[in-house]
């Protein structure tokens, strides 16, 4: 094919060559003609060679046996063959593969929707820089670990690909995996929508009971009807004719009297009612059947809780003399003692039912519902709660969602009993398929009910209402039970989903082990609140051989596999995947209903325990998967990142002037010297040079007085030119030590800026300009006043506060702040002093930032997750501390003078910056390395992509040249690929055997640090708005872009882990 392609181009080339040589006669063509002909010939030949190579490459790839994937038809055939198993959940759209349209340049156009379909562990596509790649064949060889690729299956990996950093070898491998160009199309579907094409519908539980059930004395027949009672719960009217009716009559009063705080008084002042309640003792229990016992337990439990927590959520308008404030919260302390007329009846019920004296999952869910239509299904529209603490629909919806879950879970229990009784592999396979189907329906049809909205779009169960109103009422706590002959302090556990018997039963039958002793202890404590019959059933299930043990024992010897066993293992792993789906959804409940409204990182449930046990349980569930041929397991050893032996970062010596590791953080190592100090290095200079420097210091000190009148300061400098003559010798200046040159740089920059500001349009006198240029070249920065000269080296210590500071060196202490003062000024106004002092203190305290970064660097190299988390927590605390510091300054200082005086200061400190660039300069701390270093360490771009063409981006680029040499080296070190904490999080995600709780700690620490950074940058924008109030809209838009980009960068390691579990679903 190459000669065919080359033929026309070679013809053009020969013609061009003939024009070049003119058939030997140079007079036939001019020099200009020859030159143009040569260029045309070269271009023609280059085009011909490129076309030939392109054709040859396409043909060789089509024939090469090394190509990882064939054409579209063979790819479709391969997927179809993989999909023939009835247990494979991935539905392949073969027509979509065959109808991929070709673009004009021969490339294949692929939409995001098509990429989103390839999320199975045997078929993984990703998007990188607008191109689509099939990375299935690279999963096992990926140096970062297989989970890292699976976590981004069907998604755009451009950001993590750039964060982690890849070599040229990786780029070459990408060419082999190339599929086509990404074209416009619908968005990527959610991974959950791709897991299965089955329709999620509620079955409605068991709608009718047989006569034997109605007549049975048993209330809980778990094998046939799951964990709900085998008969619908009785209402409170079932207690009529018994002493317990006294408690039942209080039920409808609970919401009104509880919220008003009058429930205590209503009971404590009604002696006749107390006498009726006292009759409900152990003797009265003999009159109750099992249904009445359960109803009495729930009724008394709700009354107890209302008495205990009555009034803690009331609101009032305050005193008559106060301004009207309808949201003045009046939180009363909960009762510390339960009176005898409630305590003794409840303890009697507790002993009878063998459950703690506290409302639990049974009294709020399992036996707290009634059908609206007695013959209808158990669905949200046909179920209501019998007992309530409030009048909120949120409470009703929260608890009856769990009722629906338990109703659908009856089919889970049925499949479990069938699987344990299966005598053949065929029977076991049938029951595993039924179990997976039942678990899938619970996850897909039941759990999303919690997030439903009404016809007006309002959530039926608001997470904020739940967190602020319902959760404080049902949370755990300690209460003293006052009895006739004794009193007893009891630790009570509030109702929790962990008290449900469903998941412990599924764990037992599937063989999910609990590796954490704390987890076992926590769940054992919850199980005490289960109905007694549930606990007996759970003990029976745990005493049987689990399905996992059965499959392990029946595995063919010597690593062989059989189709029959492989199908069983595959079906078992699908059940594990459904169980993981349930636990991930439960984790979303925790995040949405507790962590998000509470703005907390580590949640505590209504049962009183942290949710660390849930993360550990997810890890244990992942490890329960059985290995099958071609299937990866998270717990199996795989590729891990080696621990580097050598440190890749360099710690600057603290004795260097601009060391970031010094005592004063990002300030200069040595303070400016005073003209009057006997220990000043000025006193040690030779006489002419010392007199010249003393003149410079005197001019810089008199800047505020001499720069008011136009031209006055410039003239003073010109008059002093004779005394400044020794500074014109460049060799003398260059021969000075670094500290002296830096101090001279600061002084000369201030004087030069004063000359320019006081005499617009003129340059500084030569006696100032010449030494400034020499010193600037020697220190490696432009000869201009920037942040290093304005703030970082323009400070000194107050002589009187140095001794005081020795007693208290704690960061942020008043003595620490008192020892600093500004050396040179322009306006000598409080606003200028305020601006410079807060930044001097900010950069001095940045030593804690550098220390945390150094700890993080070492911890990342050692793969020490705990130390990395500690480093991020330390940074978060630093951000929050300085946000509070800025807030205190903002609150205590009037901003009206800032808007007037600070723009005047801009004539001195921001020469060359217009009104558009100046606010961005203030926002970024000028050329300070602080904000860029923090962003680089976290792996975040300081300038969002949307602002790449803005003045903000140009300011960031220009300011780098003004940074001190060691500061710039520190920043470049942090910007190296693979050096950020974001890269570390991705790196650890791809590691082997990393538990979910460890991932959660990393995710929370990183995201908390990012949130603190957002808060810190908001204070920077607040500062700029105080100075430039007329640009508040522009600055607000700038910060909105920056904040939006930062929030989009939150790590989602747990969600990525969930995606991996879904990709492994086989």
- The predicted-structure confidence for 689-720, as pLDDT tens digits, reads as follows 888 888 898 898 888 888 776 768 888 888 88
CA distance 9 to 44: 6
Between the alpha carbon of residue 960 and those of residues 427, 741, 928, the distances in Å are: 71, 20, 9
Of 360, 633, 617, which is closest to residue 507 (Cα–Cα)?
617
- Give the up-direction half-sphere exposure of residue 710: CA atoms within 13 A in the CB hemisphere: 4
**Do residues 379 and 202 make contact, with C-beta atoms less than 8 angstroms apart?**
yes
Question: Which band of pLDDT confidence, cut at 50, 70 and 90, is reported for residue 361?
Answer: very high
Rounded Cα distance, 42 and 890, in Å: 68
- By CB atoms closer than 10 A (0-12, 13-18, 19+), residue 896 is exposed
Residue identified by tokens 């506290």 is: 358
Separation CA 1060–CA 1054 (nearest Å): 10
User: Which two tokens mark 96?
Assistant: 């979509």
Residue position matching structure tokens 């449930």: 605
Tokens of 1055: 């969600």
Q: Please say if the pLDDT value at position 893 is more than 80.
A: no
DSSP labels for 590-615?
Answer: HIIIIIHHHT-SS-B-TTSSBTHHHH
Rounded Cα distance between 410 and 224, Å, is: 8
- What is the spatial distance between Cα 203 and Cα 404, in angstroms, rounded to a whole number? 10
Considering only residues 273 and 140, tell me which one the structure prediction assigns the higher pLDDT: 273
Q: pLDDT over 90 for what percent of the chain?
A: 23
Q: Sorting pLDDT into bands at 50, 70 and 90, what band is 528?
A: very high
210-to-144, 222, 228, 231, 979 alpha-carbon distances in Å: 58, 15, 15, 10, 67
Would you say 383 and 372 are in contact if contact means Cβ atoms under 8 Å apart?
yes
Compare 406 and 55 and report the one with higher pLDDT: 406
HSE at residue 823, side-chain half, CA atoms within 13 A, is: 25
Place of tokens 């500084």: 764
**3-class secondary-structure state, position 376:** coil
Q: Can you tell me whether residue 198 is helix, strand or coil? A: coil
Q: Are 244 and 280 in contact (CB under 8 A)?
A: yes
Q: In what order do the strands lie in the sheet with 337-338?
A: 337-338, 477-482, 487-492
Per-residue pLDDT, 969: 92
Judged by phi (left if over 0) then psi (alpha if -120 to 50, else beta), residue 713 lies in alpha
- pLDDT at residue 938 in the model: 92
Give the list of residues 6+ apart from residue 14 with CB closer than 8 angstroms, or none: none
CA 330 from centroid of its chain's CA atoms: 34
C-alpha neighbours within 13 Å on the C-beta side of residue 619? 20
pLDDT of residue 382: 92
- pTM, two decimal places: 0.64
Assign 18 a pLDDT band (cuts: 50, 70, 90).
very low
pLDDT digits (tens, 9 = 90+) for 1009-1040: 998 898 898 888 888 888 888 888 888 888 88
Angle between helices 830-845 and 898-909 (to 10 degrees): 70
Taking only the tens place, the pLDDT of each residue in 910-929 is 667 777 778 888 888 888 99
Q: What is the mean pLDDT of residues 444-456?
A: 87
pLDDT computed for residue 168 by the predictor:
67
Give me the pLDDT at residue 354, please: 93
> What digits encode the pLDDT tens for the residues 276-294?
999 998 888 888 999 999 9
- What is the mean predicted confidence (pLDDT) over 751-759? 86
Residue with tokens 């970082």: 792
Q: Are the beta carbons of 638 and 1060 closer than 8 angstroms?
A: no
Rounded to whole angstroms, how far apart are CA atoms 375 and 961?
A: 79
Cβ atoms 153, 126 nearer than 8 A: yes
pLDDT of residue 315: 39
pLDDT band at 64 (very low <50, low <70, confident <90, very high): very low
The residue with greater pLDDT, 898 or 736, is 736
- Each residue's pLDDT tens digit, 784-823: 888 899 899 988 876 544 334 334 444 444 444 447 888 8
Q: Which of 54-63, 262-271, 835-844, 858-867 has the lowest mean pLDDT?
A: 54-63
Rg, the chain, Cα only: 38
C-alpha dihedral sign at 418, 419, 423, 427: positive
- Residue pair 157/163 in contact (Cβ under 8 Å)? The answer is no
Q: Which two tokens stand for residue 901?
A: 């005086």
SS3 490: strand
59-68, 582-591, 612-621, 625-634: range with lowest mean pLDDT: 59-68
């Amino acid at each position: 094919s190459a000669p065919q392609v080359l033929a026309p181009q070679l013809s053009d080339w020969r013609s061009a060559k003939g024009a070049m040589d003119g058939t030997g006669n140079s007079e036939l063509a001019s020099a200009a003609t020859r030159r143009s002909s040569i260029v045309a010939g070269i271009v023609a030949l280059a085009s011909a060679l490129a076309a030939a190579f392109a054709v040859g490459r396409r043909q060789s790839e089509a024939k090469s046996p090394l190509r990882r994937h064939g054409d579209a038809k063979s790819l479709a055939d391969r997927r179809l063959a993989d999909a023939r198993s009835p247990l494979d959940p991935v539905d392949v759209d073969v027509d979509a593969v065959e109808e991929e349209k070709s673009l004009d340049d021969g490339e294949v156009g692929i939409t995001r929707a098509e990429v989103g379909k390839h999320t199975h562990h045997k078929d993984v596509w990703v998007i990188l820089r607008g191109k689509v790649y099939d990375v299935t064949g690279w999963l096992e060889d990926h140096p970062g670990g297989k989970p890292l690729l699976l976590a981004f299956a069907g998604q755009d990996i451009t950001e993590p690909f750039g964060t982690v950093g890849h070599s040229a070898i990786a780029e070459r491998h990408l060419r082999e995996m190339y599929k086509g160009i990404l074209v416009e199309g619908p968005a990527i579907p959610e991974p959950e929508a791709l897991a299965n094409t089955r329709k999620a519908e509620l079955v409605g539980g068991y709608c009718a009971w047989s006569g034997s059930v109605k007549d049975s004395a048993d209330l809980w027949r778990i094998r046939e009807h799951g964990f709900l009672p085998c008969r619908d719960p009785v209402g409170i009217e079932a207690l009529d004719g018994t002493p317990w009716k006294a408690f039942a009559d209080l039920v409808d009063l609970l919401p009104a009297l509880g919220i008003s705080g009058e429930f205590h008084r209503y009971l404590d002042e009604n002696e006749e009612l107390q006498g009726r309640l006292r009759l409900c003792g152990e003797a009265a229990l003999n009159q109750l059947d099992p249904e009445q016992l359960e109803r009495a337990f729930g009724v008394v439990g709700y009354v107890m809780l209302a008495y205990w927590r009555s009034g803690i959520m009331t609101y009032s308008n305050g005193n008559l003399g106060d301004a009207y404030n309808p949201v003045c919260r009046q939180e009363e302390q909960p009762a510390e003692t339960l009176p005898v007329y409630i305590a003794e009846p409840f303890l009697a019920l507790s002993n009878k039912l063998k459950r703690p004296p506290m409302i639990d999952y049974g009294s709020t869910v399992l036996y707290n519902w009634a059908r609206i239509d007695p013959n209808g299904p158990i669905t949200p529209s046909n179920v209501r709660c019998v007992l309530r603490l409030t009048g909120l629909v949120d409470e009703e919806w929260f608890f009856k969602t769990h009722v629906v879950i338990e109703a659908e879970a009856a089919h889970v229990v049925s499949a479990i009993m069938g699987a344990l009784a299966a005598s053949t592999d065929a029977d076991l396979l049938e029951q595993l398929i039924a179990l997976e189907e039942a678990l899938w329906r619970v996850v897909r049809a039941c759990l999303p009910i919690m997030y439903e909205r009404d016809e007006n779009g309002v959530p039926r169960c608001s997470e904020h209402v739940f967190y602020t109103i319902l959760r404080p009422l049902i949370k755990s706590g300690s209460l003293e039970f006052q009895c006739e002959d004794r009193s007893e302090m009891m630790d009570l556990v509030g109702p929790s989903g962990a008290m449900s018997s469903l998941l412990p039963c599924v764990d037992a039958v599937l063989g999910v082990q609990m590796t954490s002793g704390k987890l076992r202890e926590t769940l054992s404590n919850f199980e005490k609140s289960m109905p007694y019959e549930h606990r007996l059933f759970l003990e029976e299930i745990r005493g049987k051989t689990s399905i996992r043990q059965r499959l392990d024992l029946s595995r063919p010897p010597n690593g062989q596999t059989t189709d029959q066993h492989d199908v069983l293992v595959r079906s078992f792993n699908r059940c594990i995947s459904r169980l993981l789906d349930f636990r991930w959804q439960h984790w979303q409940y925790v995040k949405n209903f507790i962590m998000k409204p509470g703005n907390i990182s580590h949640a505590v449930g209504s049962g009183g325990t942290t949710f660390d046990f849930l993360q550990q349980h997810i890890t244990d569930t992942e490890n329960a998967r059985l290995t099958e041929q071609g299937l990866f397991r998270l717990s199996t050893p795989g590729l891990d990142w080696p621990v580097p032996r050598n440190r890749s970062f360099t710690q600057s010596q603290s004795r260097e002037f601009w060391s970031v590791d010094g005592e004063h953080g990002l300030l200069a190592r040595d303070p400016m010297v005073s003209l009057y100090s006997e220990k000043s290095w000025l006193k040690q200079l030779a006489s002419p040079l010392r007199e010249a420097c003393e003149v410079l210091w005197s001019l810089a000190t008199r800047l505020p007085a001499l720069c008011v009148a136009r031209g006055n300061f410039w003239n003073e400098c010109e008059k002093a030119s004779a005394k400044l003559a020794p500074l014109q010798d460049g060799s003398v200046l260059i021969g000075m030590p670094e500290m002296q040159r830096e101090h001279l740089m600061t002084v000369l920059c201030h004087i030069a800026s004063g000359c320019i500001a006081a005499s617009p349009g003129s340059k500084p006198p030569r006696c100032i300009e010449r030494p400034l240029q020499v010193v600037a070249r020697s220190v490696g920065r432009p000869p201009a006043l920037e942040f290093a000269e304005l703030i970082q080296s323009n400070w000194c210590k107050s002589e009187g506060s140095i001794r005081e500071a020795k007693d208290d060196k704690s960061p942020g202490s008043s003595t620490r702040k008192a020892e600093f003062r500004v050396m040179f000024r322009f306006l000598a106004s409080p606003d200028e002093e305020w601006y410079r002092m807060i930044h001097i203190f900010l950069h001095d305290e940045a030593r804690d930032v550098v220390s945390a970064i150094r700890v993080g660097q070492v911890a990342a190299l050692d793969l020490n997750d705990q130390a990395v988390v500690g480093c991020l927590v330390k940074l978060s605390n630093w951000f929050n501390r300085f946000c509070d510091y800025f807030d205190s300054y903002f609150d205590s200082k009037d901003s009206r003078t800032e808007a007037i005086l600070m723009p005047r200061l801009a004539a001195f400190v921001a020469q060359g910056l217009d009104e558009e660039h100046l606010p961005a300069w203030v926002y970024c701390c000028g050329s300070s390395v602080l904000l860029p270093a923090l962003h680089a360490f976290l792996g975040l771009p300081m300038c969002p992509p949307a602002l790449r063409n803005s003045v903000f981006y140009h300011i960031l680029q220009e300011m780098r040249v003004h940074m001190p040499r060691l500061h710039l080296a520190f920043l470049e070190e942090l910007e190296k690929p693979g050096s950020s904490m974001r890269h570390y999080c991705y790196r650890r995600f791809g590691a082997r055997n990393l538990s979910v709780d460890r991932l959660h700690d990393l995710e929370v620490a990183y995201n908390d640090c990012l949130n603190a950074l957002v808060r810190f940058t908001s204070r920077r924008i607040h500062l700029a708005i105080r100075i430039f109030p007329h640009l508040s809209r522009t600055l607000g838009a700038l910060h909105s872009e920056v904040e939006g980009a930062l929030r989009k960068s939150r790590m989602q390691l747990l969600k990525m882990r969930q995606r991996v579990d879904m990709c492994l679903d086989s």
